[in-house]
């Protein structure tokens, strides 16, 4: 499924719609270049879960944990070297948790992702709109 988002509000709304359809234990892979809108998507996703805190990209902390209707683990693996480093930080616990894992730059741990991972690919178009491709979930 492909959805075109013309602005941040629409990207957040898509995040909200995805959050309405997920279950405890879901893993969402957020992919896209720097500035594509992964964190914007995460803000809408978190809002739907009732999370009031400001959502920021956890680039330097690697993981931010938020409490809402479901616990949300927001991971940013941009600075990670790969699967070994992810394992050594206990990362597998987030893939099989009692909450929801939203993972930016999940390409770094591709082979570790569960079979039922939901993939969200965000591409910046020439007109600066976003092409948001969703795999593994119907809206």
Question: What residue numbers bound the domain in which 59 lies?
Answer: 2-135
Q: What is the pLDDT of residue 139?
A: 85
- Mean pLDDT per block of 10 residues along the chain (139 residues) reads 96 97 95 93 96 82 90 92 91 93 94 96 97 95
**What pLDDT sits at residue 59?**
65
Helix (H, G, I), strand (E, B) or coil at 64: strand
Residues ≥6 apart with Cβ < 8 Å to 131:
2, 3, 4, 122, 123, 125
Whose structure tokens read 């969200």? 120
User: Which pLDDT score, from 0 to 100, does residue 62 have?
Assistant: 84
Instruction: Give residues with Cβ within 8 angstroms of 104, minimum separation 6.
Output: 30, 31, 38, 39, 42, 57, 74, 75, 76, 77, 78
Report the predicted TM-score, pTM, of the whole model to 2 decimal places.
0.92
pLDDT recorded at residue 50: 96
3-state secondary structure at position 47: helix
Positive or negative: CA dihedral 60, 124, 7, 100: negative
Domain count, the chain: 1
Q: What is the CATH number of the domain that holds 51?
A: 3.40.50.300
Q: In what order do the strands lie in the sheet with 100-104?
A: 2-5, 130-135, 118-124, 27-31, 100-104, 72-76, 63-66
CA 128/CA 5 separation, integer angstroms: 9
């Amino acid at each position: 499924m492909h959805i075109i988002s013309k602005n941040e509000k629409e990207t957040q709304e898509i995040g909200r719609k995805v959050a309405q359809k997920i279950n405890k234990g879901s893993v969402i892979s957020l992919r896209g270049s720097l500035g594509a809108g992964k964190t914007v998507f995460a803000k809408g996703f978190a809002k739907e879960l009732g999370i009031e805190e400001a959502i920021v990209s956890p680039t330097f902390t690697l993981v931010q944990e938020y409490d809402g209707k479901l616990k949300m683990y927001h991971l940013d693996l941009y600075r990670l070297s790969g699967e070994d480093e992810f394992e050594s930080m206990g990362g597998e616990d987030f893939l099989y948790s009692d909450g929801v894992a939203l993972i930016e730059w999940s390409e770094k741990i591709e082979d570790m992702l569960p079979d039922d991972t939901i993939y969200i690919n965000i591409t910046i178009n020439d007109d600066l709109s976003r092409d948001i491709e969703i795999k593994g979930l119907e809206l």
